[in-house]
Amino acid sequence: MKKLIALLLIAPSLYAAKQCATLDGSAYSTEQINHAPMFAHQIAVALDNTSAFPLMTYDAQKRITICFDNVSFDVVANITIPALVNKYNAQKAAEAAYLAQVNAWTVQLATTTTALNNARVTGFKNLSAVNQAATVQGLLDREYLKIQLGIDEK
């Protein structure tokens, strides 16, 4: 009897219960389809933090099949086109926000560098105390922006 109970407890771990969702990706770009496993994994981890990365296949008609092994949620109900598109759009918005920040830092770096070059031409000692303080702040700002942008001028 003990052997039977032990076998019943061990048996489920000997095979993987595979759950798959098949989705129509015909209206979506190859980029969106290629990102589907990553976004499906993000959804899965939010539902079951032990989820492994899924297996994905798609055919010439862009029928996408995403499969998970041993997950505790309903894959068909949760891994849907709207859910994947929402993740994709959120990622694109985050990328756009980051690029906008990098562009703002780049413009600020150029502006600060121009102001510092103008101060250097004028001569630091010839500047008023307020302008000297602004120049020092500009130097600090410039170094901060270089760090943010990953610029190493060694």
Place of tokens 């129509």: 24
pLDDT per position as a tens digit, 110-151 = 887 888 787 777 777 777 888 888 888 888 888 888 888 888
Say how many Å lie between the first and final Cα of the chain, rounded: 73
Specify whether the CB–CB gap between 16 and 52 falls below 8 A. no
Among the listed residues 101, 131, 129, the one whose alpha carbon sits nearest the alpha carbon of residue 116 = 131
pLDDT value at residue 78: 94
Q: How far apart are CA 154 and CA 147, in angstroms?
A: 13
Q: Match 């920040």 to its residue by tokens.
A: 101
Structure tokens at 10: 């061990």
Residue 130: predicted pLDDT: 85
**CA–CA dist 6, 75 (Å, integer):** 29
Instruction: List the chain domain ranges.
Output: 2-79, 95-149
- The fraction of the chain above a pLDDT of 70, given in percent, is 88
- Residues 39-54 pLDDT 10s: 999 999 999 888 899 9
Q: What are the C-alpha distances in Å from 142 to residues 64, 110, 124, 126, 148?
A: 48, 9, 17, 22, 10
Size (the chain), residues? 154
Report residue 16's pLDDT band, with 50, 70 and 90 as the boundaries: low
Q: Find the range with the poorest average confidence among 27-36, 95-104, 115-124.
A: 115-124
The pLDDT-based confidence of 13 (bands split at 50, 70, 90) is: very low
Mean pLDDT of 104-114: 84
